[in-house]
Amino acid sequence: MNNKELKQLLDSKVDYYNQPSFIKDDPICIPHLFTKQQDIEIAAFFAAIFSWGNRTTIINKAKELMQLMEMQPYNFCLTHDAKKLKRLNGFKHRTFTANDLYFFIDFFHRHYSKHKTLETAFFPRKGMTVEEGLNHFSAYCFSFEHLKRTEKHISSPVKKSTCKRLNMFLRWMIRNDKNGVDFGTWKSVSPAQLICPLDVHVARIARQYGLLHRKQNDWEAAMELTLNLRKLDVKDPVKYDFALFGTGVMENKKI
């Protein structure tokens, strides 16, 4: 299959999946429950961080957390007290525990007390790349007191991770089209700069299509895949996440 044929195939899959009907069965449905920008950011962050394993479980656990936060995650993070935090005791999603949750609530409290948006936690300066933004977020996040175990929930390129969940979060916040799935409210970097979220399913399909040759799934592989996707659409390469995800994952209900 040549590049023209591959582009036509993947474009058709993007058109099929990048629709409002995609939202209800995907973790992105969680931030779509909200209209306030800060609520969207916090809900999207947790939905993305929870995103490994069974998709229905991911969505249900993220909804459970939003309900524990009284469906006002921004207000909860800013005004929480010991009584409110107590209701989170016992919350768990796979290896993500209440202790991890307490840290991120405290982090959001600290950040939003000084900033209007979570965007500045990733991109505090103009001209930053996504790689720089991810590394900055990890360093900034864990500059506050935390348990060592919590670090595993925030990946970074400097650790050679694919950063799949955070790249997915950034896709949600930065990609901007008229289809209504991604939010596109962050403007520090353009959709052209995004890195494709890479997990074992997306990597498998990418290799089948000749878009990825590196055997190891790591940051270099995510970059290689994205560079090849830019040959198909230089302005919006990560739109093909819909195509690769849809081909490799949707039928299994996992991400």
| pTM to 2 decimal places | 0.95
SS3 content of the chain, % helix, strand, coil (to 5): 60, 0, 35
Q: How many angstroms separate the CA atoms of 213 and 7, rounded?
A: 18
pLDDT at 83: 86
Residues of the chain with confidence (pLDDT) below 70: 249-255
User: What is residue 254's predicted lDDT score, i.e. its pLDDT?
Assistant: 44
pLDDT recorded at residue 246:
87
Q: Which two tokens stand for residue 23?
A: 């939202």
The pLDDT value given to residue 250: 59
pLDDT confidence of residue 8: 96
Say what the pLDDT of residue 82 is: 85
Alpha-carbon span 93 to 151, nearest angstrom: 16
pLDDT at 249: 67
Of 250, 255, 242, nearest to 9 by C-alpha is 242
In the chain, the N- to C-terminal Cα span, in Å, equals: 27
